Structure 1
Amino acid sequence: MNLSHFTRRAVIAAFAFSSFVFPAIAEEPLTINVGYAAIGLDSRPYSEGTSAATARAGEYLEKEFAGDPNIKIEWFFFKGAGPAVNEAFANNQLDFAYQGDLPSLIGRANGLKTKYLLASGARKPLYLAVAKDAAIKSVADLKGKKVAYQRGTNGHLAAIKILEANGLTEKDLQVINLDSAGTVAALTSQDIDAAFGDTALINLAEKGNAKVIYTTKGDDPRYGRNAGIVAREEFIEKHPKITQRIVDAFVKAAQWSSDEPNRAALFDLWHKSGTSIPILEEYFKNDKLAYRNSPLIDDLLVSQYREQGVKAKEFGLIRREVSTDGWFEPKYLNTSLQKLGLQNFWQAYGANGKPLGS
């Protein structure tokens, strides 16, 4: 078919116009699967205590992509915590996830191709509660006792470090592997003597069914727990711009979660998880929101993950050495901080646990 010069120009113009007006037709639908290594009370699809929990409850990711009909956000909460997240990553079922330090290091040691993008829930305290009638007064008194915690989680490694600081090892205890719900039931019935955990134990103590005898809060920050947002390398490489927007959304959630005037509203938002507001108030008592909700990949965080890797191998939690070299990917976080004018919003800490510049 022969087309006149004018006709050919008209066809080209029409094609260009249709491409400009209807770009979404050429875009492939994309579902971004986001995991969370915890779950709310009664299996509610929410959590608390982290900026990632804020991002979920406040729909920060959904709002970021509200103008992109082909992009959908799906959240998945895991009763099996970090180990279950690793399994989902291994099966390419997740693109991003909130996960604690030990399980993410175990995943790396086992060959999972992920990158650590920003902190979320770093510096979380750990609590030690004992049965209400137990005569246990200190960590040292745990020797020979039945003590529960969930193996393979960041609470597991933190508990081991606390035991070590008090002259004990796991072999000195009768360790019972229980999730949060199982721990509450066993401690209430006094089938165990003690347990390591967090808000669930605070709640149990408030009801008079247990006694909290120790917390890492106010102690050496290196005894605490760390967590962050990790992502599949393949997703990052394929969708760098979308990855940036995901990080932007998480940083916005971290900023809102760090502003002290938002404290009451923050706890109300986290209450979607089923954890009561008084328990959240106690959990964050005497802590600045910005300290607990910082997204920074600072020297303290990096040194903690390196130490956790060494300790995990030393304690037999992983079979091979794990390196964090090249794992941390701060460029997306740094871009977000600059874009949002937050370069000096959070305090960075040194490997010694002290604020930099102090």
Structure 2
Amino acid sequence: MSPLPSRRAVRVLAPLVITVLLATLSACARGSGPSGPELALDAPLPTQVPEGTRLRIGDPQTKVALELSGEIGKLSFEVEWANFSGGPQTLEAFRADALDVGSVADIPPIHATWIGLPVKIVAAKFRKDPLDHPVYELGIAPGVHVRTLADLRGKRIAYSPGQAQGALVLRVLRKAGLTKDDVTLVELPSTGDVYVNALASRQVDMAPLGGVNIKRYLAKYGDRGAATIPHGVRDDPTHLYVRTETLRDPAKAAAIREYVQAWARAAVWVYEHPEEWIQGYYVKDQGLSPADGAYLVKQAGEPDIPASWTDVIARHQETIDLLAAESGNPVINAKDLYDLRFERVAADAIRKKGA
């Protein structure tokens, strides 16, 4: 299936690799705030997107899903796509005023708040049967004896503060009845194949591995004794979040609402069209083999986009409490991270799609 062009101009940014790029984007973005009265944060969301509205979005996987599904041609606003996602890059782009919408797990909004950057979550997505479809498995270095979580005592563990993998490590230790004092945390960025290489070289004994790295790690180092074990905790949150000040712009607030709707419909399309997704995203866009793509589709399972955020916020609060206790940062109210005006936007979009 060929990608469908948007009715609006769509520009794709190069990967975020140097601070100069962010500075350049920031300079270009100055003056992009509200041109008229600001929208109160408790005012109803506007539903009409004014002509000329533009969003800068760091969500490259959804971009491809929108193209393949045809949703991108229905957007009524211009999109400037940033070819990056994840916590650190999104946070830096927010701080440089170079991004409007980011796609992350549950940790970056917490850390953004702790460094004084007000943000709001506007969409939440999970996996049905999350323990059977985890995002991560625990990679075990060749020759290291770890068969249960209790075996992690005394081990060197890859740790990335401020990212989902770092929080997962803390959750796993708590589940095992261990603390940071019972292990050695080795701070490493969880990007690319850093964790795979750290395991293979025995720089660490355990590291959370996600996506195709799980399969490739076992294929490459399994004959040397490499292994993975399940961790048995939920690790599936995906959020769209924005700077709070962005939501004061009525035009951008309306466009974000529309994007959340398209994002939800695209997520369902990906699940319902696995072969097109494997070929269009994993093979053509990511350069993976069809076998790797099929593995990732099976691993992801079915998306879960809840209409109520009550349980979502409660789980997020547990994460905040854990991170605060470990880091010494103040406990924040998880509910304050969410813009509840968006609570039903994504769920209603897929309900109407199936109606």
TM-score by length of 2: 0.71
Match of 2:100 in 1: 95
CA contact (8 A) 2:107 2:162 kept: yes
1:86 CA displacement: 1.7
- Residue of 226, 229, 232 corresponding to 1:214: 229
Matched residues in 2 for 1:301 and 1:278: separation?
A: 33
1:133 matched to 2:148? The reply is no
Q: In the alignment, is residue 192 of structure 1 matched against residue 204 of structure 2?
A: yes
Q: Does the CA-based 8 Å contact 2:154-2:182 persist in structure 1?
A: yes
Counterpart among 154, 159, 166 of residue 144 in structure 1: 154
1:115 equivalent in structure 2: 120
Helix, strand or coil at the partner of 1:208: helix
Which residue in the other structure is 1:247 paired with? 260
CA drift of 1:32 comes to: 1.8
Matched residue, 1:182:
194
CA 1:322 to 1:193, structure 2 compared with 1: closer, same or farther past 3 Å?
Answer: same
User: Is the alpha carbon distance of 1:204 and 1:296 closer, same or farther for their aligned partners in structure 2, counting shifts above 3 Å?
Assistant: farther
Letter in 1 for 2:194: G
Q: 1:236 aligns with which of 247, 250, 255?
A: 247
1:35 to 58, 61, 71: 58
The aligned counterpart of 1:167 is 177
In the alignment, the residues of structure 2 paired with residue 60 and residue 235 of structure 1 have an alpha-carbon distance, to the nearest angstrom, of 27
- SS in structure 2 of the partner of residue 111 of structure 1: coil
CA distance in 1, matches of 2:54, 2:137: 37
* Kept in 2: contact 1:54–1:253 (CA 8 A): no
For 1:226 and 1:321, the matched residues in 2 are separated by: 20
Q: Is the CA contact 1:158–1:225 (under 8 Å) kept in the aligned structure 2?
A: no
Aligned to 1:269: 280
Say what the alpha-carbon RMSD is for the aligned residues. Answer: 3.1
Deviations 1:285-329 (A, max 9, x none): 4764234xx36554332221111111110111x611211224322
Q: 1: distance between equivalents of 2:226 and 2:311?
A: 31
TM superposition shift of 1:241: 2.0
* Aligned match of 2:74: 64
Amino acid at match of 1:196: P
List gaps (5 residues or longer) in structure 1. 1-26, 37-45, 346-358
Q: Distance in 1 between matches of 2:311 and 2:353?
A: 17
Kindly state the Cα deviation for residue 88 of structure 1 after the two structures are TM-superposed.
Answer: 1.9
List aligned pairs for 1:271-310, cutoff 5 A: 271=282, 272-285=285-298, 288-291=301-304, 294=305, 296-310=307-321
Contact 2:314 2:334 in 1 (8 A): no
Partner amino acid, structure 2, of 1:201: I
Give 1:86's aligned amino acid: L
Indicate whether 1:84 and 2:95 are aligned: no
Q: Which amino acid aligns with 2:258?
A: R
Matched letter for residue 259 of structure 2: I
TM-score (normalised: structure 1):
0.70
Q: Secondary structure at the match of 2:99?
A: coil
Asked if 1:74 corresponds to 2:97, the answer is no
2:204 aligned counterpart, secondary structure: coil
The separation in 1 between residues aligned to 2:94 and 2:70, in whole angstroms, is: 22
Q: 1:100 to 1:282 in 2, by over 3 A?
A: same
1:106 maps to which residue? 111
Change (3 A) 1:277 1:105: farther
CA-to-partner distance for each residue in 1:249-274, whole Å, 9 max, x for gaps? 11121221232xx1222233331234
Amino acid at match of 2:142: K
